[in-house]
Homo-oligomer: A and B are copies of this chain.
Amino acid sequence: MADKQSTKPPSGTRDFLPNDIRRREHVVGVIRDVYERHGFEPLETPAFENIETLLGKYGEEGNKLIFKILKRGEHEHTGEADLALRYDLTVPLARVVAQYQNEIPKVFKRYQIQPVWRADRPARGRFREFFQCDIDSIGSTSPVIEADILGAVADTLRCLGFGEFAIRLNHRLVLAALLNVAGVGADGQADALVALDKLDKIGIEGVEREFLARGIEAAVAARCIELFNAPGGERPQAVLDRLAGILGSNDASLQNLRDIVALCDANSAGAHLRIDPSLARGLSYYTGAIMEIAVEGIGSLGGGGRYDGLVGMFLGRDVPACGFSIGLERIIVVMTERGMFPAEVAGSGVDVMVTIWNAGAASDALRLAGDLRRAGLRVDVYPEADKLARQFKYAASRGVPMVAVIGDDERARGEVSIKDMRSGDQRSVPRAEAAAAVARALGRAERN
C-alpha cells in the first residue's frame, strides 16, 4: 500500500460532502436573496487572472500569498507564471468595470459569491480556498450608497438568524486626522494603525506596549488611546460630537459619517451602528468610510468600505466605489455550533427509496420511481434485487425517511407498500396515490 496515492484534499482546502453543501447553499441562498432584494445583480469572474492584474494590489504581504500558475507548453520549463488565482473579488470587479464601461449602468450594483485563494498558513477556521460574498456599488459618491450597503448587510445577518451584532463604522480620513492630532507623523501612521486595530483584542495596556515596541513615544501613545477609545455603548451621535470637538465641526469626513448615520436610521442598519474611531481595516485602497460587522464572542464576520481610487488603476480615471465582503466560513461554523440551521438543511437528500423485489421487478421499480419524481419527490432506487432487510438497512444508513415496496402481493392488488422509517409504520396505498401519501407523510405539498 506504500505506493498508494494520498487521498486528502490539498493542505488548507476542503472537500464538501452533501451535508456541508446543504449548509453552505442555505447560507448562500439567504445572502443572494437579500442582495437581490437590494437591487444588486450577479457577477462572476474567472478563477484566475493575468498575473499583472493582481500583483501590486494587495501590498507586499498579499503578493506573497497569491497562487501563481506556471506557463504552459514550451514555456513550462522557464518556471515563469503568467496567471494567478483570484485573491479577492474587488480587484476583478475593478477590472470588469473598466472593461465593460459601456455596457454596465452608470451606477453598477453587483454581488459576487465565489471562492478566492490565498496561500496563508492553514489554521483552525483559516483556509486557502474560501468563499467571499461581496456587494459593491460603483459610480456614486453619495452616502446613500454606504447606507444601502449597510442596510443589505444588516438584513442579511437578520435573515440568517443573527439578532445581536454591531456594525462598526469609521472613516479613513478621520483616522488620519486623529493620528495627526495625537502627534503621529505620516510615516508612523501605518504602525500605529496596526497597534490600534488590536484594541478590541489586547486592551489599552496591550496597545500601549505595541506602540512602545514600534517606537512611538509614551505621551503620543497615551493621547492616541484617549482619542480612539470609544466605549461600546456610546451612541453614534455622541461619538461624532466628541470627534467634532477635536477635529472641528466643519470636518468633511465627519459630516460624511453624520450623513451615513442619519440615512441608516431609515433602514435596518441603524439599530446596530456604532462609530468606532479605532477601526482601521487593513487594505490600503480604502479612501473614505470603512465598516465591519462584529458579533459578540465571534469577532468580525465581514467588512468593507469606500475605495474611490482602485477602478482608476485599470480605467485610467477614478470612479467612486464602495463595497462590503461577508466571509462565509465563519458564519457557517457559528450557525452550526449554535444550531441556527432549519431542520430541512440537516435532513437527508432523499425523500423516498424504492426497493427492487426481485430481478423481474426492476422495471416496475423504475416506473414507480418515475411517478414519484414527477410529483417533485427526491427518489432513490436500490440498485438491484436483494434481501429486503438489506435494502431497508441501506435506506436507514442514508437517513432516507420513507421506503416504497412493490412485492408480489402489492403488485397483484395494484398497490404500493410505504414504510415510514422514522416511526416504523407501514401501510399499503393504491399505486396512483403513492406520491401523495409520501408527500403527506413528509409534511410536504405535492408538486404537479
Q: Which residues 391-407 of A sit at the B interface, judged by CB distance below 8 A?
A: 394, 397-398
- B18 near A366 with CB under 8 A, answer no
Choose, from A79-87, A205-213, A242-250, the stretch at the interface: A79-87
Determine the residue in chain B with the shortest Cβ distance to A320: B383
Compute how far the CA of A365 lies from the CA of B373 in the bound complex, rounded to whole angstroms: 46
- A378 near B36 with CB under 8 A, answer yes
Q: Would you give the 0/1 interface string for A30-50, flagging 1 where the beta carbon is closer than 8 Å to chain B? A: 000000111111111111111
Q: Is the CB of A251 closer than 8 A to any CB of chain B?
A: no
- A349 near B129 with CB under 8 A, answer no
- B370 near A144 with CB under 8 A, answer no
A110: which of B18, B145, B397 is its contact (CB, 8 Å)? B18
A384: which of B9, B70, B144, B267 is its contact (CB, 8 Å)? B144
- B37 near A397 with CB under 8 A, answer no
Q: Which residues of B contact A117 (CB under 8 A)?
A: 47-48
- A37 near B378 with CB under 8 A, answer yes
- B70 near A69 with CB under 8 A, answer yes
| Known interface pairs A17-B103, A21-B44, A155-B373; 16 further A-B residue pairs with C-beta atoms within 8 A, sorted by A's residue number | A5-B95, A8-B99, A9-B45, A15-B96, A15-B99, A18-B110, A36-B378, A47-B85, A47-B115, A64-B73, A70-B79, A70-B81, A145-B383, A148-B366, A148-B383, A267-B366
Q: Would you give the 0/1 interface string for A400-424, flagging 1 where the beta carbon is closer than 8 Å to chain B? A: 0000000000000000000000000
Q: Is the CB of A252 closer than 8 A to any CB of chain B?
A: no
Q: Which residues of B contact A67 (CB under 8 A)?
A: 48, 69-70, 72, 83
A252–chain B nearest beta-carbon distance, Å: 16
Q: Is the CB of A316 closer than 8 A to any CB of chain B?
A: yes
Q: Which residues of B contact A377 (CB under 8 A)?
A: 37
Q: Is the CB of A268 closer than 8 A to any CB of chain B?
A: yes
- A379 near B38 with CB under 8 A, answer yes
Q: Which residues of B contact A362 (CB under 8 A)?
A: 144, 263, 266
Number of copies of this chain in the oligomer? 2
A13: which of B48, B81, B365 is its contact (CB, 8 Å)? B48
Determine the residue in chain B with the shortest Cβ distance to A99: B7
Q: Which residues of B contact A107 (CB under 8 A)?
A: 383, 394
Determine the residue in chain B with the shortest Cβ distance to A139: B383
A324–chain B nearest beta-carbon distance, Å: 16
Compute how far the CA of A384 lies from the CA of B141 in the bound complex, rounded to whole angstroms: 9
- The prevalent SS among residues of A at the interface is mixed
**Most chain B CB within a 10 A radius of its CB, from A45, A95, A144:** A144
A325–chain B nearest beta-carbon distance, Å: 19
Compute how far the CA of A78 lies from the CA of B78 in the bound complex, rounded to whole angstroms: 10
* Interface size of A in residues (CB-CB distance below 8 Å): 109
A17: which of B43, B46, B397 is its contact (CB, 8 Å)? B43
Q: Would you give the 0/1 interface string for A59-97, flagging 1 where the beta carbon is closer than 8 Å to chain B? A: 000001001111011001111110101000000000110
On whether A106 and B366 interact (CB within 8 A), knowing A15-B46, A45-B16, A85-B47, the answer reads: no
Compute how far the CA of A282 lies from the CA of B347 in the bound complex, rounded to whole angstroms: 39
Compute how far the CA of A104 lies from the CA of B47 in the bound complex, rounded to whole angstroms: 29
- A119 near B366 with CB under 8 A, answer no
A47: which of B47, B83, B370, B397 is its contact (CB, 8 Å)? B47
**Most chain B CB within a 10 A radius of its CB, from A21, A41, A76, A117:** A41
- B15 near A370 with CB under 8 A, answer no
- B1 near A384 with CB under 8 A, answer no
Q: Which residues of B contact A1 (CB under 8 A)?
A: 316
- B70 near A39 with CB under 8 A, answer no
Determine the residue in chain B with the shortest Cβ distance to A313: B5
Q: Is the CB of A126 closer than 8 A to any CB of chain B?
A: no
